[in-house]
Every structure is written in structure tokens, then in C-alpha cells.
Chains A and B, each alone.
Chain A
Amino acid sequence: MRSGIDACVHCGFCLQSCPTYLTLEDENDSPRGRVLLMRSALEGTLAIDDPSLETHIDRCLGCRACETACPSGVPYGHLLEATRATMAEHRRLPFVARLILWTFARPASLTIAMALSRLLRATRIPVLLSRLKGRLGFAMAMLASTERSGMHGAYVARGDATRGTVAVLLGCVMEGLLGGANRATERTLVVNGYSLVDAPGQRCCGALHAHAGDLRGARELARANIVAFEGADSQFICVNAAGCGAMMKEYAHLLADEPEFAERAARVSARVRDVSELLVAAGPVAGATPVDATVTYDAPCHLLHAQRIADPPIAVLRAIPGLRLVPLAGAEHCCGAAGIYNLVEPDTSNAVLAPKLENIRATGAELVATGNPGCLMQIGAGLRRASIESRAVHPVELLDASYRSTARGAR
């Protein structure tokens, strides 16, 4: 941690990349300011339970946009996780956060929670409540936004299976509420020449836990996933959720101090690819059915800033005939979802989301493509509540739609 902090020369080049600084206009809510807070806590000149530290560290989205702005290579994400872990030793997280982390850490409770959510969604009650002010209304709008309308239709995907084997991380929210995107992921991978392998025993990736400072919970989940994906023995591990992909690529860092797992974690991390990386490595195979839609792309922070993947999702969208891709101003800025941030820091989250929604409105796009469940639900909910005629979709859902009607095989 010390050397990471020392790398900061407080040049300030990170300021304009930071969504909370741009929104709140206080350097305590900027990367440079937070690094100074972390330094003081580390050196003991600021108490670990000082309200200034808590307020401003809690308010960080963890989007890591500062990392792709920092000339000095300050490992901000790691510093934040370590600081939050130290803070967690001295205080309890908010109830909402503890409830979510508890649920996601247990397969049975997660299954029940997701089933109940789907049930609630089917009643259409979330649609009715999605305009309510405050946290409940926003949560309902998030749930309502996960409903898929007619984009998916199963087809038998065929490919030549020459590109290697892939095990897909199904994820929690992705499989629970956005299963259509998972099926689209599987089909598009097959069409692009990959063959699928199951990875039974896989769990939540642990990203939510790690970001909240619950490193013990995150490590437990990471170990379970390492065992599961070792068992799958596939060439690649495909992740279609940017946050989960970033986490799995960092298992090596997370478990660096555990002799039994360090090397195994590094081997698993090395196999992890975002779905867009795998598709682009294979072309991707161009779609046959035109998708007549104006689409804009919003980069998930954990894809662009954490995994540094910028172009592949755009290449995926460009492989779709008929699709009109329009640029989104500020696409590199966070939408304010940030895992469970939108539920524990709703005010700042909404303030960060507001310019995103205005920029989307300005594009006139019918669809916003983004490859992360948190962003899909945050933007989806925001669009719904702001009455913007646009929906959020995963890029592979659009590619899948262009593969669908012909039920074509590969080349």
C-alpha cells in the first residue's frame, strides 16, 4: 500500500476523470484527495474512524477512471479496497449492504432472492412503483428494467468449434434477472467457433464483497470459483459482466498471500476473458439479420478502466448489419451504479447518473448497449424514471438478435 500511495505526485491529472469530483466539486471526493486521506490514515495522522475519511471513502464509486488518467500508475482500486477493508474492521456496513453481501455469498439464499425478484417482476408491480421517489422507487425501476421484450428467441446455434473451449461465469444478477443475456452469450460464442463447457459449483465472483471491504467474503467466493473453474478445465473463462470479469482477473492479487491458492488463482485469472474479447478474437462472425436500431455504447468502468478494454464491444456492435452506432458523450464516465453503491449512496449515485441520462437523450438512440448488469439496471432504471424512450441492452444481445432468425451456423 505504501508504495502505491507514494507513486502519487498529486499532479491533479485525475480530477477531471473522477465522476464524484465532477459532481460534488470537492477535492475530498477526488482521487487525489482520497489518496491524501488514505495516506494520513496509513500514517496515523487521521483516525481510521474519522468522519472525513468515512464520508469520502464511502462516496467513492470505485470506477477506477482515475487509473486510466494517472501517469504515475497509482493502483487506486487496490488502495481503495485495502482502505475499505481496514475501515470494515472498525465499523459495520449499512444494513442494506450487509443484507446484499450476505445473500450473494450463499447459493441457496441467492437462488431464493432471485426467484422472488423474478416473481415480483412478473406481477408488474415494479413497473407501477418505478416512479416512486427515493430508494424503493429506484430499486423497483431497476427490477422493471431487467424485463426483456421480444429480443430473445431461441435458435440452435452452430459453429465449427475450432476456437477452443469456454466455461461461462453465469453470475448472480446476470443469471437471476438477465438470463437472456447469458443465453445470448452462449449462442454467440458457439456461432463464433467456441465450444461450451459447464463449470458446476461456480458462485458469485465476490466483487461486491471486495469493493465493500469484505475481503474475507470475497476470498471465500474466489476460492470456490477457482475450484469450480479448475474442474471445468476449459481454455477460457468467459465473463459477460464487466465487474465480475475485473474481479476474476484480480483473483491472483486477492489471493496473493495464500500459498495454497496464489498460483492457482493466477492460472484461473489468466484464462478469464470478457465476452467481447472472445468474440473479437473470432471476428466476430457478421450477423445475417439486420437490426434496425440506433444504438449508443456506454463503457462499463470495470471494462474500460479496470480491464482496459475499449474497442472490442464496439467491434461487436459493428458486426451487426443495419445497426446505426452513434457516439455517446461522456461514455467513459461512470453511470453511478458501482455495484451496490446506488443503494447505499443514492443521492450521489443519482447525481452521477443525471448527466449520463442527458447525454443519452441527446443521442436519440433507442438502445444503450453496455456490458455489465449493474450498469444495465442503473441506466435502465434511470431511463425509465426520466421517461427517455430508450432501453439498456447487453451488446451480445444485439449480436445474438442478428444471428437469430437465420439460425445460421458458422462460415
Chain B
Amino acid sequence: MSGVTPSVATESERHPVDAALAARLAAIVGDRRVLFRPGELLAYSSDGLPGYLKQPSIAVFPGTRDEVIAVVRELARAGAPFVPRGAGTGLSGGALADGVVLLGLNRLSRILSIDAENAIAVVEPGVVNVALSRAVSAHGLHYAPDPSSQAACTIGGNVAENAGGPHCLKYGVTLNHVVALTVALPNGEVVTLGNAAGENDGYDLVGAFVGSEGCFGVALDVTVRLARNPQAVRTLLADFHSIDAGARAVSAIIASGLLPAALEMMDAGTIRAVEASIYAAGYPTDAAAVLLVELDGPIAGLDADVATVVRHCRDAGARDVRVARDEAERTKLWQGRKKAFGAMGRISSHLVVQDAVVPRTKLPQMLARVHDIAERYRVTVCNVFHAGDGNLHPNIGYDANDPDESARVHAAMREIMQACVDAGGTITGEHGVGIDKLPYMGAIFSEESLSAMCALREVFDPDRRANPGKVVPMHSCREWQMAPAARTGQH
């Protein structure tokens, strides 16, 4: 996807690379691990969010914890703003570095310790989410938060974004699974937040750090809780002739008091994209919507829960409900769902992805609203979302070279977001604010609240050099203009 902000600046247009800084960073991490040639920075000029290209000035890739600390201190000495990056799979542009230093943490990918008895692991920030689950599977454990990008995204990135995932409906998001962190603050000071026992001793600073989107510092290691694998799992696929029927089934399942491990919905456009891909899962391509429901826990009683879900789906008008026969079919059903975002590339040359939350009881009305808005602006919305949480991901494919269509798409998106807010929801469920949601922050927070966020940020990063320009709109920070270090990061 090329960008809404289209071309990458040529060398002459860009700020001159701070050659001295690059050399000092290279002295820490080695020449190969410092990139500053425009050609080599291309790969780091976007993350998972389509539509933006922002080129960093320098990209630096430490390989050890000590190197990270040394790099952060060097950046502090230089007063250089920086953006931490994991695998660059984020969907709010959180890892975009616009003319500032990009600090890649992907090389810190060691699992430092696994304590199976206490179900705790200590990992470096660059450990890939699914690699952790794989490493502990022999102990009958897994790492519960499972964002769709889990095959690629890193724990450090998950911490920054407080990542969710289908199974967070029952098991909670990243925050519920992080008990302690060692963090290099932007000034280079190393601090420990939380403790391995997972008890609050004083203010919940882990809670403040998880979800801080790289603005509070860089995690050097993360102590996470591991979850015991459930005794049994049942995965159901229900298909519906209308989105509304699917949404009513979701409401009915939740209202019945059941807590599924996951409750996901995909609409026709999404189903067709997935079924055309290598991850084809056998979803019915003539359905208006499918629900993917997972129930897990002790085997006793599980099948009664399955029967309840089947009944609610049928009552809502499901055409068919089937239960995955074995692990292979279950994996296939999940792979299709998890790769749905990637499969959107099949639909059109450009894509807007969105992330919003509504109270789940309002799901049927909200989906009808989304449909109306899309129709009014003549755009095609593909919905794929965590229905159980009321977390919507409306995606709109379009052609960015068509200015009229682009304008309609962005207007439709704004209206959809406003509708979610009006329904009592919010502007992000799990992707974070980054730069993509900045314009919507004012819709849910007062200036006072935003100002308070700035004050909190200042505790961790008084110079505001960590991930500048993200999360809180700049104008909300009264002192912003007075912080020259941060301003150099803004072009």
C-alpha cells in the first residue's frame, strides 16, 4: 500500500542525518546495526498501519540489554527524540518515526527464564508473542493475549499498545498478564516496576506503563503470567444470512451469562478475502456473517455450554452451526480469523483499518449504523471484530489515487468513529492511539483530561523525547512549545 502521505522524501529534502550521533551509536551497537541511508530506512518508514510513510533519521538496533541502555543514554545526552519499535505490526502508527531516531528492539528476543510452577516467564521485549507460547507449551502453559498478529508481533510491542486479541474476552488483555517490568526511562535511568508476585506495592506503575505506547520508556525485560492450557476446548462456527442476526446471537450469548473464551464475527467481505487466501478456513462464502465461538474449561459441563451457544445461534436465525472436529480444523478456523486483516490486501490497493468499541448490547444498532454510513458515502466496509468485547474493526478498501473516493472513505470513517463515541463507546479497543487516532482524542477527552495525561507523561519523560507526537494531541500539552528537544522531532 502506498501512502496517503505518498512519497518518501529524497535525501536533499530531509534533515541532514546527525552523522556524529550515528557514529556514536555505531560505536555502541556496531556499524551494521545503524542505518541512515535513505534506501535502507524505507523498510522502517511504515509499520502495520496502511497509508503512512514517515522516514526516521537514523535506525539503531541494539542486540543486548546493555546496548539498549547505552543507546538510550546516548540519545539522552544528544537530546534526540526516539521511537521504540518491535516488529512493526502495530495498526495505529505508533512505531512511525518522523525524522527522528528509530530504536528497534527486535533483536532482544531471548526468553530469560520460565518458572513453570509459578506460571511466570521473564522475556526480552523482542520475543515474538507466539514464540513464548510455543516455548512454554511443553509445560501445559501458554501466554494468553493473542493479537491477530501474534505470529509476528513482539511482547514489547504488546506491552506498549496493551494489546488484546480474540481470547482477551475471557482471559484479559496484556495488562492483566504483565506483573513486572525493567524499564530504561528516556533519560537512561533503569527502574523496576511491579514485582514477580504480581502484587501492588504502592501505586500501580505497571498499569501506567502498559499501554503507554512507547512514551514512558523502553522495556528491557517483561515478567509475564502464563496461563494453564484448558482441559478442553470447543470451537464453533455459526453462519448467518444477515449481520443483524449474527449480532443478535452475540447479545444473546453474552446475556445468557456464558463467558466464551472468544467470540468473533466476520462479515461477507472479510469471509471472501480470507477464503481467497492461503488461510482459507472453509467459511461459507455465501454467508452474510459468521460467528467464531470458542468455549474452554473443565470438560465437565462444556458440552452443555456448547448446546447453549448452538441454541442461541439457531434462535437468532443461524443457518448452520458446526463444531470443529479436531485440533487441525480448529487451527484452520482460527488461522482464517487471525489473518483476516492481512487478507484485506486482496480487496483493493489501499485500506483504512479502524478500531473502536461500543457497549456490546448496542452491537446490532451500531452495525446497522455502520452499514448506513457506508451506503451514504458509497464505500465498502469489511467488518471483522471481537464481537464479545464490542470491539469493532471496520476496514474500508479504496483507491488512494482517486481523490473523491479517498475523501468519502475518510469522511465515512470519521462518522463511524463519532457514532461509536455517541453510542457510549470509545475510539480504540486494542490498536492504541498512535498517530492515527490523535484527531479523535478530543472527542472523548476534555482538555483537562488530556492535560493530565501530559502531566503523567512528564513524570516518565520530562523532555518528551520518547515517541514524540503520539497519543496526546500536542496542543493539549501547555508546555509543549517550551520543550525544544521534543520540537526538533516535529516537522
Task: Identify the A interface with B (CB < 8 A).
Answer: 3, 6-16, 25-28, 30, 32-33, 36-37, 39-40, 43, 45-46, 50-53, 56, 67-74
Given A9-B1, A10-B1, verify A30-B43 contact (CB < 8 Å).
yes
CA A163 – CA B344 in complex, angstroms?
42
- A12→B274 contact, CB < 8 A: no
- B342→A33 contact, CB < 8 A: no
Instruction: Confirm or deny: B279 has a beta carbon within 8 angstroms of a beta carbon on chain A.
Output: yes
- B88→A12 contact, CB < 8 A: yes
Q: A13-B89, A25-B63, A71-B278 are in contact. List 11 more A-B contacts (CB 8 A).
A: A6-B349, A10-B47, A10-B48, A27-B43, A28-B40, A37-B39, A51-B37, A51-B39, A71-B277, A72-B343, A73-B346
Interface centre among A11, A30, A70, A74 (most CB of B within 10 A): A11
Residue contacts A-B, CB under 8 angstroms, 28 given? A6-B349, A7-B346, A8-B1, A9-B50, A9-B342, A10-B50, A11-B48, A11-B345, A12-B149, A12-B152, A13-B339, A13-B342, A16-B152, A25-B61, A26-B35, A27-B44, A28-B43, A30-B43, A33-B42, A43-B2, A45-B10, A50-B39, A52-B42, A56-B40, A72-B277, A72-B344, A72-B345, A73-B278
Given A9-B345, A52-B37, verify A46-B1 contact (CB < 8 Å).
no
Contact with A along B342-379 (1 / 0, CB 8 A): 11111001110000000000000000000000000000
Instruction: Confirm or deny: B324 has a beta carbon within 8 angstroms of a beta carbon on chain A.
Output: no
- A13→B43 contact, CB < 8 A: no
Given A9-B50, A10-B1, A27-B88, verify A71-B340 contact (CB < 8 Å).
yes
Q: Which residues of B contact A67 (CB under 8 A)?
A: 278
> Which residues 38-66 of B sit at the A interface, judged by CB distance below 8 A?
38-40, 42-48, 50, 61, 63
9 closest A-B pairs by beta carbon, nearest first, are A52-B39, A72-B345, A71-B342, A33-B43, A71-B339, A71-B343, A27-B43, A9-B345, A11-B342
- A9→B7 contact, CB < 8 A: no
Q: Which chain A residue lies CB-closest to B339?
A: A71
Q: Which chain B residue lies CB-closest to A17?
A: B151
Given A27-B88, A28-B43, A53-B39, verify A11-B341 contact (CB < 8 Å).
yes
Q: Which residues of A contact B2 (CB under 8 A)?
A: 6, 39, 43
- A36→B43 contact, CB < 8 A: yes
CA A323 – CA B311 in complex, angstroms?
49
- A46→B43 contact, CB < 8 A: no
Q: Which residues of B contact A69 (CB under 8 A)?
A: 151, 278
8 Å CB contact of B42 from A7, A13, A36: A36
CA A43 – CA B8 in complex, angstroms?
11
Q: Which residues of A contact B50 (CB under 8 A)?
A: 9-10
Q: Which residues of A contact B42 (CB under 8 A)?
A: 28, 33, 36-37, 40, 46, 52
Q: Which residues of B contact A53 (CB under 8 A)?
A: 39
CA A12 – CA B63 in complex, angstroms?
21
8 Å CB contact of B39 from A11, A13, A46: A46
Q: Which chain A residue lies CB-closest to B45?
A: A36
Q: Which residues of B contact A46 (CB under 8 A)?
A: 38-39, 42
Q: Which residues of A contact B318 (CB under 8 A)?
A: none
CA A45 – CA B48 in complex, angstroms?
21
Q: Which residues of A contact B110 (CB under 8 A)?
A: none
Contact with A along B256-268 (1 / 0, CB 8 A): 0000000000000
Instruction: Confirm or deny: B106 has a beta carbon within 8 angstroms of a beta carbon on chain A.
Output: yes
CA A71 – CA B277 in complex, angstroms?
6
- B61→A26 contact, CB < 8 A: yes
A246 shortest CB reach to chain B, Å: 16
Given A45-B7, A52-B40, A73-B276, verify A9-B149 contact (CB < 8 Å).
no
Q: Which residues of B contact A3 (CB under 8 A)?
A: 349
B435 shortest CB reach to chain A, Å: 16
CA A26 – CA B39 in complex, angstroms?
13
Instruction: Confirm or deny: B87 has a beta carbon within 8 angstroms of a beta carbon on chain A.
Output: yes
CA A46 – CA B106 in complex, angstroms?
26
8 Å CB contact of B8 from A11, A26, A40: A40
Instruction: Confirm or deny: B312 has a beta carbon within 8 angstroms of a beta carbon on chain A.
Output: no
CA A12 – CA B95 in complex, angstroms?
13
CA A50 – CA B1 in complex, angstroms?
22
Q: Which residues of A contact B46 (CB under 8 A)?
A: 10, 36
Q: Which residues of B contact A45 (CB under 8 A)?
A: 7-8, 10
B460 shortest CB reach to chain A, Å: 27
B189 shortest CB reach to chain A, Å: 27
CA A12 – CA B50 in complex, angstroms?
12
- B87→A72 contact, CB < 8 A: no
Q: Which residues of A contact B43 (CB under 8 A)?
A: 26-28, 30, 32-33, 36-37
CA A11 – CA B89 in complex, angstroms?
6
Given A25-B61, A33-B42, A45-B10, verify A12-B87 contact (CB < 8 Å).
yes
Instruction: Confirm or deny: B409 has a beta carbon within 8 angstroms of a beta carbon on chain A.
Output: no
> Which residues 1-48 of B sit at the A interface, judged by CB distance below 8 A?
1-2, 7-8, 10, 32, 35, 37-40, 42-48
B436 shortest CB reach to chain A, Å: 14
Instruction: Confirm or deny: B141 has a beta carbon within 8 angstroms of a beta carbon on chain A.
Output: no
- B44→A70 contact, CB < 8 A: no
- B346→A15 contact, CB < 8 A: no
B85 shortest CB reach to chain A, Å: 9
Instruction: Confirm or deny: B107 has a beta carbon within 8 angstroms of a beta carbon on chain A.
Output: yes
Instruction: Confirm or deny: B128 has a beta carbon within 8 angstroms of a beta carbon on chain A.
Output: yes
B416 shortest CB reach to chain A, Å: 20
> Which residues 145-183 of B sit at the A interface, judged by CB distance below 8 A?
149, 151-153
Interface centre among A40, A43, A53, A68 (most CB of B within 10 A): A40
Q: Which residues of A contact B274 (CB under 8 A)?
A: 71
B10 shortest CB reach to chain A, Å: 7
B82 shortest CB reach to chain A, Å: 17
Interface centre among B35, B42, B153, B349 (most CB of A within 10 A): B42
A74 shortest CB reach to chain B, Å: 7
B148 shortest CB reach to chain A, Å: 9
A158 shortest CB reach to chain B, Å: 38
- A72→B8 contact, CB < 8 A: no
B373 shortest CB reach to chain A, Å: 23
- A9→B87 contact, CB < 8 A: no
Q: Which residues of A contact B344 (CB under 8 A)?
A: 9, 72
- A16→B106 contact, CB < 8 A: no
- A13→B149 contact, CB < 8 A: yes
CA A80 – CA B73 in complex, angstroms?
40
Given A51-B39, A71-B274, verify A15-B152 contact (CB < 8 Å).
yes
A22 shortest CB reach to chain B, Å: 10
B348 shortest CB reach to chain A, Å: 8
B377 shortest CB reach to chain A, Å: 22
B346 shortest CB reach to chain A, Å: 6
B190 shortest CB reach to chain A, Å: 23
Q: Which chain A residue lies CB-closest to B345?
A: A72
Given A9-B1, A16-B152, A36-B46, verify A68-B339 contact (CB < 8 Å).
no
Given A12-B152, A32-B43, verify A7-B7 contact (CB < 8 Å).
no
CA A53 – CA B42 in complex, angstroms?
10
Q: Which residues of A contact B277 (CB under 8 A)?
A: 71-73
Q: Which chain A residue lies CB-closest to B90?
A: A12
Q: Which residues of B contact A28 (CB under 8 A)?
A: 35, 40, 42-43
CA A10 – CA B128 in complex, angstroms?
17
B2 shortest CB reach to chain A, Å: 7
Q: Which chain A residue lies CB-closest to B2?
A: A39
> Which residues 66-94 of B sit at the A interface, judged by CB distance below 8 A?
87-89
CA A24 – CA B152 in complex, angstroms?
16
CA A45 – CA B55 in complex, angstroms?
13
Given A16-B128, A71-B342, verify A6-B1 contact (CB < 8 Å).
yes
Q: Which residues of B contact A25 (CB under 8 A)?
A: 61, 63, 106-107
CA A128 – CA B273 in complex, angstroms?
56
- B342→A70 contact, CB < 8 A: yes
- B345→A74 contact, CB < 8 A: yes
CA A67 – CA B276 in complex, angstroms?
14
CA A39 – CA B39 in complex, angstroms?
11
Interface centre among A37, A46, A50, A73 (most CB of B within 10 A): A73
CA A70 – CA B274 in complex, angstroms?
11
